Structure 1
Amino acid sequence: MSRIQCPHCHRPQSHCLCPLIPSLDSRTRVLLLQHPSEVNHALNTARLAALGLNNAELIVGEVFEDLPRLLDQPGYQARLLFPGDEALPLQARAPSDEPILLVVPDGTWRKARKLLHLNPLLAALPRVTLAEGAVSRYRLRKAPGPGALSTVEAIVQALQVLEAPVSFELLLRPFEALIEGQIVAMGTETFRRNHAEK
């Protein structure tokens, strides 16, 4: 028998995160392109980001036929948040600057690269990247390298730069509650044995 799910956050009703999800305004528009394999992932942080930001949209797929329309947002400059040799570090935007349409692929690194490969229009966007050395709060898995963040963490960090001094930390509250809930479910001893810093 399956557990009843919250229709909003898609978590089991007993672990609903809705009271922790903020409703934040941003000048930056965030377009999340999620690989289908992430949709039912227990820690779907892209969904949390989309729910917490009023100016965000989450689209699930591999080939995005509607991409030209999604990227053509009058008054916005589209930028792909993805590392690469040609990626420029994000910088604060003055109120007079045109706002950014921040396009964020969501999936494992391999799946995110596949999204770029299958959508040449996406791969052709000017790339931006986060400052190096950010430490993930995602204590349930080892980061593949320094600066590897969950999707919601990357979005928060990007918005903190683009819209400084506005804070977007509230977006991380449901994420941290989700992590805590997973640790409680697995048991402190199991967490220490498998995930705590060595």
Structure 2
Amino acid sequence: MSRPSCPRCARPLDHCLCALIPSLDSRARVLILQHPSETRHALNTARLAALGLRNAELLVGERFDDLEERLARPGYRSCLLFPGEQAQPLAGFAEQGVEPLLLVVPDGTWRKARKLLYLNPSLEALPRVALPEGLTSRYRLRKAPMEGALSTLEAVVAALEIVEAPRRYDALLAPFEALIDGQIAAMGEETFRRNHGE
């Protein structure tokens, strides 16, 4: 029998994170496209980002039929937050115009995020932007697959702190930190130190 869960944060009721999730405004709009396999992930940081930002939306799927209309939203300049050779620094792209950004963020493993791009050609057509090098994930329970790899939530926070500076968005990380602390507590401090070298 499964434990009852919170309808908002989808966590078990005895581990509900809603009290830690802020409600922050941003000039930029954030559109998170989540691969369906990520909805079952214990952290599901994309959901935390969408819940904590008033100007964010989370869509789950592989193909998004109305994506072109969403990307053509009046008053916004759309861009895809995804690294690659064609990606330009986010800060430079943001400075090139006065309109707020519509920041499109794929959520999934690298392979599944690339699949989202392949299945939705309008994403490939967007200007691609990247975060600065040298950022480090706070997710202490897993080794990043590559240098600078962040969770979706961490990437959204880093991006907003660039384009909305000097405004801060690290309050979005509070439920993420609580999830990590809860996982460490469940495994025990000694097991954590032995397996993760801290």
TM-score per shorter chain, which class? Answer: over 0.9
Q: Which amino acid aligns with 1:154?
A: A
Amino-acid identity (%): 70
SS at match of 2:91: coil
Separation of aligned partners in 1, 2:5 and 2:197: 30
Gaps of 5+ in 1: none
CA–CA distance in structure 1, aligned partners of residues 55 and 16 of structure 2:
22
What is the RMSD computed on CA atoms of the aligned residues? 1.2
**Residue deviations 1:8-62, cap 9 Å, x none?**
1000000000000000000000000000000011110000000000000000000
Partner of 1:32: 32
In structure 1, give the amino acid aligned to 2:98: D
How far apart in 2 are the matches of 1:189 and 1:69? 51
Give, in whole Å, the separation in 1 of the partners of 2:10 and 2:47.
Answer: 9
Alignment of 1:97-136 (within 5 A): 97-136=98-137
TM-superposed CA distance for 1:146, in Å, is: 1.3
Task: Report the TM-score when normalising by structure 2.
Answer: 0.96
Q: Report the secondary structure of 1:51's partner residue.
A: helix
**Residues 150-177 of structure 1, C-alpha deviations (whole Å, 9 max, x = no match):** 0000000000000000000100011101
Residue 189 of structure 1 deviates from its aligned partner by 2.1
Counterpart of 2:154 in structure 1 is 153
C-alpha distance in 2, partners of 1:31/1:154?
13
Output the CA distance in 1 between the equivalents of 2:194 and 2:37: 28
Report the CA distance between 1:188 and its aligned residue.
1.5
- SS at 1:164's partner residue? coil
What is the deviation of 1:70? Answer: 1.6
Per the TM alignment, residue 90 of structure 1 is displaced from its structure 2 partner at its CA by 1.1
Determine whether 1:58 maps to 2:58.
Answer: yes
Name the SS for the 2:50 alignment partner.
Answer: helix
Once residues 99 and 187 of structure 2 are traced to their aligned partners in structure 1, the CA distance between those partners, rounded to angstroms, is: 46
Counterpart residue identity of residue 27, structure 2: R
Greater helix proportion: 2
The aligned residue for residue 2 of structure 1 is 2
Q: What is the TM-score when the length of structure 1 is the normalising length?
A: 0.96
SS at structure 2 position matched to 1:19: helix
- Mapping 1:174-189, distance limit 5 Å: 174-189=175-190
Structure 2 equivalent of residue 143 of structure 1:
144
**Counterparts of residues 47-86 of structure 1 (less than 5 Å):** 47-86=47-86
Q: Secondary structure at the match of 2:161?
A: helix
Name the CA distance, whole Å, in 2 between partners of 1:66 and 1:190. 47
Question: Which amino acid in structure 2 is aligned with residue 11 of structure 1?
Answer: R
> Structure 2: 5+ residue runs without aligned partners?
none
- Could you tell me which residue of structure 1 aligns to residue 196 of structure 2? 195
1:193 CA displacement: 2.1
Match of 1:164 in 2: 165
Aligned to 2:88: 88
Deviation digits for residues 119-142 of structure 1 (CA, Å, limit 9, x no counterpart): 111111100000000011011110
Task: Find the aligned partners of 1:193 and 1:4 in 2 and give their Cα distance.
Answer: 33
The code of the aligned residue for 2:67 comes to L
Amino acid corresponding to residue 190 of structure 1 in structure 2: T
**Between Structure 1 and Structure 2, how many residues are aligned?**
196
What CA distance in whole angstroms lies between the structure 2 residues aligned with 1:142 and 1:8? Answer: 29
